[in-house]
Amino acid sequence: MTVFLVGAGPGDPGLITARGRELIRACDVLVHDRLIADELVAEAPADAIRVGRERLGQDQISRLLVLYGRRGLDVVRLKGGDPFVFGRGGEEVLALAEAGVPFEVVPGVSSISAVPASAGIPITHRGVSSQVTIVSGHDPDALDWKALACTPGTIVFFMALGALGEIVARLVEHGRDPTMPAAVVASGTSADQRTVTASLAGIAHAAEQLAPPALVVIGEVVRISALLGSRCEMIPVHA
Ligand SMILES: C[S@@+](CC[C@H](N)C(=O)[O-])C[C@H]1O[C@@H](n2cnc3c(N)ncnc32)[C@H](O)[C@@H]1O
């Protein structure tokens, strides 16, 4: 009787951990995010209760986890990527801890590195980038643009597709080099993966046709994908 916060990985169902898959196969209740691969949801026992996250708000989800946990059921809360990277996993475990419900966090492969990797982009590279800054693009007004524009190394923006034009404008306005390479990787590691690369100044236009989920990578490491070209056996392991 535990609530397990399980990271499902970035999209490809083959990228969940062995422990995560084992827990799904044995659960009484599966509460999953909207973007979780159908193949993973189908791994739960036929008689397990399945709850799709999109029907509920965050507070309702936390209450539901507490409710099922208190009933003594094994609950898997399946979240995209890693539960503790922009996943609101912290809020859920705080609610469980406060309610005295036992829980365990099972980390997942986060899109932070897996999605760029699936496009042949290492987010660090010796002599090129020894620092990565991870940013949510959800609320551009909340960010320190002066600091971001001059931060060295690679910048990875989550949830940034809708505000990409504004993000680029603010970075350039505060001094980031507009000719610096950038990439947008949409639906990384899935069969629908699409990648565009351009200069920072041109990336919003280049990404116009892409749909979420998407990750934006800004920095010299983007050039490495072009060097790899077709010689790269990239990560996607889907057929
Ligand atoms: C709410 S955050 C969840 C992040 C997740 N916890 C993780 O560790 O990857 C959702 C954002 O993650 C990024 N993302 C997640 N999966 C992705 C994928 N397969 N391809 C591109 N971006 C992805 C997108 O920026 C998306 O808007």
Instruction: Assess whether pLDDT exceeds 50 at residue 238.
Output: no
Average of pLDDT values for 89-99? 96
CA distance 31 to 51: 5
DSSP for 211-236 reads -SSEEEEESTTHHHHHHHGGG---S-
CA distance 168 to 58: 30
Given the CA of residue 160, which atom of ligand 1 is nearest to it? 25
Q: At what angle do helices 89-99 and 58-70 cross, to 10 degrees?
A: 40
Q: pLDDT by residue (tens digit) across 130-186?
A: 999 999 999 999 999 999 999 999 999 999 999 999 999 999 999 999 999 999 999
Instruction: Assess whether pLDDT exceeds 60 at residue 101.
Output: yes
- For the Cβ of 158 lying below 6 angstroms from any atom of ligand 1, the answer is yes
Least confident range from 123-127, 134-138, 156-160, 224-228: namely 224-228
Q: Is the peptide bond before 213 cis (omega within 30 degrees of 0)?
A: yes
Mutate to test the pocket of ligand 1, among 111, 161, 216 (most ligand atoms within 8 A of CB): 111
Q: Please tell me the residue having the least CA distance from ligand 1 atom 27.
A: 159
- For the Cβ of 210 lying below 6 angstroms from any atom of ligand 1, the answer is no
